[in-house]
Amino acid sequence: MSRLPAHRLPAHRLPAHLVLADGATFAGYAAGYLPEEGVRTGEFVFNTALSGYQEVLTDPSYAGQVITFTYPHIGNYGVTPLDDEATRPWCQGLVVRELATRRSSWRATEDLEEYLVRHRVAAIVGVDTRRLTRHLRSHGALAGAFGHAGLAEVSAAALRAEGTDGHDLVSDVTTRTAFTRGEGDLHVVAIDYGIKETMVAQLARRFRVTVVPSWTTADEVRALGADGVFLSNGPGDPAALAPAVREIGGLVGTLPIFGICLGHQLLATALGATTFKLPFGHHGSNHPVQDLASGRIEITAQNHNYAVAPSSVSRGVVSHVNLNDGVIEGIAAAEERCFSVQYHPEAGPGPHDARYLFERFDHLLRTDRLESR
């Protein structure tokens, strides 16, 4: 069990424990929001980004998960509403080695811990995140629990904790009502499975965008007069979203489609492919991906636990691959006017190498409009 050196113990923090479903136990201190029950559960994953912690925390794709940051010092530049990717964090909690107690940025409006308390996000600090990350790399993403309750109580909660397999988490994070952004001459309907604000902003720079709930049907999309369809990122297991796959299948071949992350997995499934769960997923801002058509290599931001099975792709072709482990990072079906990528070209946070894909979508829509005249 790891412990913070005595000379660095924060006097105002309660001792806390982190226990994984396989029994691995870590010591730390409670931070952020302190739930009355003294414990929080979720699926533990690690993120390798060096900055952008606010964007990571507010990415709806982390619903049901507890985020471990591998970078040891988090919170040094505070938070600002300008960096929110959603109206609130959807993650189950936060694990860090050291949580900065004083912000240093002219953009900041509050400290990270104040932000966590305001949004009722529990955290555990002082954890040996290097050891935790190595454990998750060896054993895969694991359910578990953490909190300031007694070790026995946290351990019991860890045994009851559930991962993301088989769960529809999209219904929790999707918008309840449609809304519109942008004033472009082309109209894109974006289906919100957990859409990030940066995605909406990138689309709105090019199109008039109507963001609709995840349960919107294919007929309802066409009734909105869409020139194209965007399938957003989102949390959880794509195999648990059969209704969404069915509606996407009703759109394939009738309108141009662009999908990102969960949207990529759902489009691939609608095209007949299957998905599987990666051992510990891809979560970070530095994953090298190759565009197979051009040979170009781009550094990408990623956040996903599931991927498309290579042997299952029959309609369309694999367009991008991850150079770390060969995972499919993109598919394209030219005849059916659709393509998708597993990574996050909008960034937020991360490099902007792949933002050309929004221009590719724009070109696809304009070509489709000309050919349909």
Q: Which long-range contacts (CB under 8 A, 24 or more apart) does 322-326 make?
A: 322/282, 322/287, 322/288, 322/289, 323/288, 323/289, 323/290, 323/297, 324/287, 324/288
Active-site residue, 261 included: yes
Q: In sequence order, which ranges of the chain are alpha helices (DSSP H)?
A: 53-57, 112-118, 129-139, 151-160, 170-173, 197-204, 218-223, 242-251, 262-270, 356-371
Is 160 in a helix, a strand, or coil?
Answer: helix
Active-site residue, 98 included: no
Torsion 174-179-184-187 (CA) sign: positive
Instruction: State the pairing for strand pair 25-32/15-20.
Output: antiparallel
Active-site residue, 55 included: no
Is 361 in a helix, a strand, or coil?
Answer: helix
Q: Which residues contact 293 (CB under 8 A, 6 or more apart)?
A: 319
Q: Which residues contact 138 (CB under 8 A, 6 or more apart)?
A: none
Query: Which residue of the set 17, 98, 261, 336 is catalytic?
Result: 261
Torsion 287-290-296-301 (CA) sign: negative
- Number of CB atoms found within 10 A of residue 356's CB: 13
Q: Which residues are catalytic?
A: 261, 344, 346
